[in-house]
Each structure stands twice: as structure tokens, then as C-alpha cells.
Structure 1
Amino acid sequence: MAVNGIQEPGRSPKTVASLDGVSVRRYTTGQVILDDITWTVRSGEHWALLGANGAGKTTVLRMIGALMHPTTGSVEVLGHRLGRVDVRELRAHIGLVSSAQKVPQDAAARTVVLTGHTGTVQPLWRKYDDEVRQRAEELLAELEIKDLAERPFGVCSGGQRARILVARALMADPSLLLLDEPFNALDLPSREDLIDAMHRLALTRPELATITVTHHLEELSPSIGHVLLLKEGRVLASGAAQEVLTGEQMTRCFGRPIEVSRHEGRWLARSGRS
């Protein structure tokens, strides 16, 4: 089986992930986590996945990342349906960035990036030839963290760690990049550095699709063009950002009055008066 993200002639934009009638239930309690989710992500699209805690955001991301299967419905990623594909091979072509990723704290940033080539926690040095090492150097430079190459991951700031993990995820040249709350616990400068980095990636990699899970509109880069709103495991709204990110929709999603504004491509949400 060959899994890749190369754009095929005459098939642009290409579907990179789709959920069709997907539901997820806990077998032990029967609790509904997701209910009848249908959603499609195409190459070059940049999506934000928003919703209150418990809305099902991480569960959706885990399925698209080939880390779990639905109870009912179908999930296709990079042209392959879950349940009919070796998920280990599929995961090698999906970039994932999460603050919960296990990374050796004493490993140098360059080493952490290199492990993205093998998809391992610990480095497999024999697998990293000159070409692989050169790619790691290029990604460190692209994410503007080349000066951190020898610094242990554990002493890097939160923002630096986030960009190191993005570089690691890009080592496999994925068609799909998943970001699970990448801005968690970042201060303002670090947040803005990461937003700038994600915007540059969108401009330099026109075929790359991204999905970002976040709680805050302020964390969305100007490249985010689509939004999926989840509420209690169901799709509340899905589509172009300017159509979904409205005060009315956000109020329905979060259950309190919310005002939404936009300035120079960046979004802002604040509590409105009841």
C-alpha cells in the first residue's frame, strides 16, 4: 500500500480527510462522544476546530490522526479508509503537534526534529543519513529556531518547544498537519511567534492542509479560512471562517453572549452583554 500526499494531475483540490456519519460512543457507559459528524478537509485548506470543553474536538482529531476508530460511520484519511489500512503506515504521513507528546527532555532540539523522520520518541541514528540531517537543518531554519539546535528540549520555552514540534512533524513532509491546542500555556510573544510560523507555512506549502484545535479566536492565524464548530458532539456550523465566526454562531456554541470582530485578518472574541 502506498500512502502519500502528492497532488494528482486533474484532481485539485484533493480530499485529504473526510468523516461520513461518524459517531463515537463509550462502550462501558453508552455515552455519546460524537453524533453523526460529516466533514471534509481538502488540500491547501486551513481549518480551526472550535467548541467548549467536552464538545468532541480531540476525538475528531484523534480519528483523523488514525489514532482511533469510530463506533459507526466511516473515516477516510489520505485516500484510505480506517479499518482497511495499516494505521501505522498511515500515521507516518500525518503530522501531529501536541503539548502532550512524549519528548526526551534532555534531547537537543535538532535530535527531536530528527525523530520526526522515524516517528519515534528516541532517535534511531542509523536511519538519519546526510539528506535527512540536512532536511532537519532546513526545518530548524524555516521555523526560525536554528539557534536552538543544540539546546535541550527541556530548557526551551513553551513557544520554542511548540516550533520544535512543528519542525518535527514536518520531517515526513506530510499532506496533513494536526495541531492539538499548540498554544496551550504560551505567553503573548511565544503565541505570536507560533502564529507567524503557521502563517508562513500556509504561504510556502500550498498543498498542505492543517487542522488546529484551540479555545481562543486570537490564536488563529490569518491563513485560517475554514472553521468547524462543535457543540455536545454534533456539528453546529461548518464552512468559511467569515460565515461561521459570527457573534450569533459563537453564542450558540458556547452558551453565553459573545461578540466577534476581525482586524487585519485576525479574529477576536469577547463576552457580550446578556
Structure 2
Amino acid sequence: MAGQSATPLVKEHEAAVLRLQDVGVRRHTTEQLILDGIDWAVRPGEHWALLGANGAGKTTLLRLIGALMHPTVGTVDVLGSRLGRVDVRELRARIGHVTSAQRVPQDLTAHAVVLTGHSGTVQPLWRTYDDEVRLRAHDLLTELDVKDLADRPYGVCSGGQRARILIARALMADPALLLLDEPFNALDLPSREDLVEAMHQLAEGRPRLATVTVTHHLEELFPAVGHALLLRGAGPWPRGPWTTS
């Protein structure tokens, strides 16, 4: 997938935000090979699309780079830490994750939803949020152009507004890596267009932020996405992945 990048060119020798070397994943119960021979690097400021049919391994790969599981073989380095040699709880706290399946209490205000990104919880832990944290949540709502929704219940916000709020929540940890797991799922066309615009603005405003977006539809990708990783599951063709810039 070709595209125009909104970020400066990154030097090849610069440390990768994410690096996988000869990674494979096998399901222990059935010995099914889910991923095989994955070599992939994501550098600061790069925006990637993760593509592939259902069953190709996209969810498994996203779980690997989100520090939610370990590979069967190979090495996975995320934000300078190697899985198996680091406390994954601390590592997960440094990775932004946006998914349409995120559980959010519908009565929470947009500001409260963003605050839960600081504590990594579903419900707010009010005693853990000092004035600086609360101000940061407001600043992120402003950055995502939804500051007027700060006191509005999440449940009455539009699909596009909810997506922007969830991105702001994911940014509370000031991550270098943002993972978007089918963020357009269940959104109507205006909301999808709104989310594309939000991600475009975010890429322009945060030139060092790296993103990986899982999607089935290329038209949902924002203009800064200039790289793609295509996964192909088991079948009569050679097994992936293929990368392109």
C-alpha cells in the first residue's frame, strides 16, 4: 500500500519502536501454526496498516506487539524491551490501545473516560488523579477537538466522538506506540470520516508517534499511513507476511 507520510523521514539506524525477528506462534492445544517467520520493524513516526483475511493472524500479532502474549519462537522487542525479559504489566502501560470493543460505562463523562486511561481501569480511581492528571485529560480532549464534550456522558456521544474520546484515553500514558484494533467497526460513514480526520490531525501533531491500524478496508486509513503488513494464513499460496512502503 503506497501513501504519503505526514512525518519526517526516519533514519534507518534509529532504534525501532517495535521489532519482531523470525517470530512464530503455535496454538499449544492443537499444534496449529498461526504465525510463522515474521520479521518486522516499526520506527518512530511510522504509520502502518495491518491487513489480512479473517484467520490470517492479525489478532494474534496485535496481541504480541501489545505485550498480551509471548511468541512460541523468535523475539519480540517493544519500546526497547524484549518480551520474556520485562514486566509486561509495566510495558502495557506504555502502549496506547484503541478498540471498538473497549468496555466503557455509558454514564461516565468524556473527561472521566479519558482519566481511566491513566489508571488503566474501566471505572475511575478518583483518588489517584491529581490536578496535573486531570488537566492532562482536558488537554487531550482539546487536542482531539472534543473539549466541549468533557462533561457529556459517553453514552450520548456520536460514534465519531466516542472514537476521539477513546484515542484521548489511550494517549494518557503518552505512548510512543498506538495500536488501533479495527477502530472503525460499527461506525457509520460520517463517524468513519470523522475518525480518519482525527487520526490525520494526530499524526501531524505528534511526528514521533508510531501507529499500527488493523482494518479490512483501505479507504478507512488516514493519509499518513505509508506502510502495510499483509498477513496470509495457511493455504495453497506461500505464507506471509509481505511488507510494502
Identity among equivalent pairs (%):
72
Alignment of 1:152-191 (within 5 A): 152-191=153-192
What TM-score does the superposition give when structure 1 sets the normalisation length?
0.81
- How far the C-alpha of 1:162 sits from its partner, in A, is 1.2
Aligned to 2:142: 141
Is 1:151–2:156 an aligned residue pair?
no
Unpaired runs of 5+ residues, structure 2, are 1-10
Does structure 2 conserve the Cα–Cα contact (< 8 Å) formed by 1:118 and 1:124? yes
Is 1:237–2:238 an aligned residue pair?
no
SS of 1:68's partner is coil
Does structure 2 conserve the Cα–Cα contact (< 8 Å) formed by 1:13 and 1:44? no
What TM-score does the superposition give when structure 2 sets the normalisation length?
0.90
The C-alpha deviation readout for 1:4-53, integer Å capped at 9, x for no partner, is: xxxxxx99733011111111111111111111111111111000001111
Unpaired runs of 5+ residues, structure 1, are 1-9, 241-274
Counterpart code for 1:128: Y
- Give the stretch that moved more between structures: 30-39 or 169-178: 30-39
Aligned to 2:94: 93
Distance in 1 (CA, whole Å) between partners of 2:88 and 2:129 is 23
Larger proportion of strand: 1
Counterpart code for 2:194: D
Question: 4+ residue runs of structure 1 moved beyond 6 angstroms?
Answer: none
Quickly say closer, same or farther: Cα 1:56–1:11, change in 2 above 3 A: closer
Aligned to 2:204: 203
Is 1:128–2:129 an aligned residue pair?
yes
Distance in 1 (CA, whole Å) between partners of 2:211 and 2:48 is 6
The C-alpha deviation readout for 1:176-199, integer Å capped at 9, x for no partner, is: 000000001111111111111111
Higher relative contact order (CA 8 A, sep 6+): 2
Aligned to 1:119: 120
Distance in 1 (CA, whole Å) between partners of 2:241 and 2:108 is 42
Distance in 2 (CA, whole Å) between partners of 1:43 and 1:12 is 11
Distance in 2 (CA, whole Å) between partners of 1:38 and 1:12 is 17
